[in-house]
Amino acid sequence: MVIRKNALFLLSPLFFLAACSGDGDAAKEEKMYISSFQKKEIYEIQQPAKLNVSRGLIVSNMNNTLNINEIEKGLMNLSVEHFSPNSFYMEEGQYVDKKIINQWLERKTEEGLGLNPAKTVSTGNILDDEKENPLILSHVLEQNYINKKSGKIEGMSLAISLNEYYDIRVSDENGLIYTDQVKVDNNDDDVNDVEKYGKKIAEVIVQQIRNNETMPKVPIYLTLFQESNKNDILPGVFLAETYIDEGKDRIDKWLAIDKKDYTFPSDALYSLDQDTYGKLLTFKEDIQNNFNHLNPKMLGKLHYENGKLADIKIEVHAPLINDTELIGLLQFIGTKLNGILFDYVPVTIRVIDQKQDIGIVLWDPKEKQIFATPI
């Protein structure tokens, strides 16, 4: 479907602002506004770009693309606090290679370097033994940060990925394959056994890196990432972080990371934030009632940090919508959004025709404006 860019709306909390004078001006202003709204600290990649020395391993080690995307992007976003994008390039990991990672992923033995739990019991049933001793460490992701002036590495970030669920796939001596799944932390206490184990092996990882002569002696930012289940529609979460100064080989303290995503609609979001859930439900019903002939569907992803709502992203699916209907829908969404405004929270609403983005509505809490345009 081809949409003509024949409209650009900027809405203040109270009224429509003047539209642009022509298609060229509209497209230019649209591009500038969206770029400004979405702007955040992003690393430049050190050129010539280098491949990660463990390239490809993350795909086989982690259970789905949602978790892979989250850990890669999330580690960069968290690293900003320690290695400023104004002063540093980001470079794919060049030191923690496949051999090192595979050694860490092995089960612990007296003579080996494995960091996954050893098998403490042997029942003779291969599947039961795996359930009793689930693998927890799944991957270690490395990123390097290069000083823009000197061209030297001056920082390393590591994300230790941990299984919340262990997906078992083992074979016996006859070659028969057995599969199952077990939750790593299956007791009802208040301790996250996944996080507890991650902090334990993080100490070993830091010491081994510091004792490895091929590794740069630079500050290390390290975080723990807990993968979501392979069939979940949301990625996993970062649990905790720490920073190890240059020359140090131990972890002094951990800081909790409280950043979580919730879908709308979902029971989890309703239990967490009934007020926001109610506003979004009303918003959804208003769209469906006024554009019933389009049979629109609405889905949302809400991001919370330290228990507070930080970002809202919404998809409105309207198959086979035409140009006139799209403009009307964008105006309606903008007007309704003005009525349920989250003053301090950025909101991005994408209108989708089948699989193609055809319109966008943005609420900018800094500029106190609503922006809407066909794409």
112 confidence band (pLDDT: 50, 70, 90): confident
DSSP secondary-structure letter at 152?
-
Any bridge partners for residue 303, and if so which? 261, 311
Over the stretch 121-152, which tens digit does the pLDDT of each residue have? 788 888 999 999 999 999 999 999 999 999 99
Residue 105 φ/ψ, nearest 5 degrees: -75, -15
- Residue 153 confidence (pLDDT): 96
DSSP secondary-structure letter at 338?
H
Give the start-end residues of each E strand in the chain.
Answer: 9-11, 88-92, 137-147, 153-162, 165-171, 177-183, 220-226, 237-244, 255-256, 259-264, 297-305, 308-317, 347-353, 356-364, 369-374
Any bridge partners for residue 240, and if so which? 224, 256
Burial of 343 (0-12, 13-18, 19+ CB in 10 A): exposed
Task: Count Cα atoms within 13 angstroms, Cβ side, for 107.
Answer: 9
| Residue of 224, 208, 74, 65 whose CA lies nearest to 139 | 224
- Residue 58 confidence (pLDDT): 95
Distance CA 369, CA 362 (A): 8
Instruction: Name the average pLDDT for the chain.
Output: 87
Q: What mean pLDDT is predicted for residues 46-55?
A: 90
Residue 39 has pLDDT above 70, yes or no: no
- Residue 242 confidence (pLDDT): 98
Distance CA 346, CA 298 (A): 18
Over the stretch 263-322, which tens digit does the pLDDT of each residue have? 999 999 999 999 999 999 999 999 999 999 999 999 999 999 988 999 999 999 999 899
Over the stretch 357-375, which tens digit does the pLDDT of each residue have? 999 999 888 878 888 889 8
Which 3 state secondary structure label does DSSP give 188? coil
| pTM of the shown model | 0.79
- Residue 9 confidence (pLDDT): 53
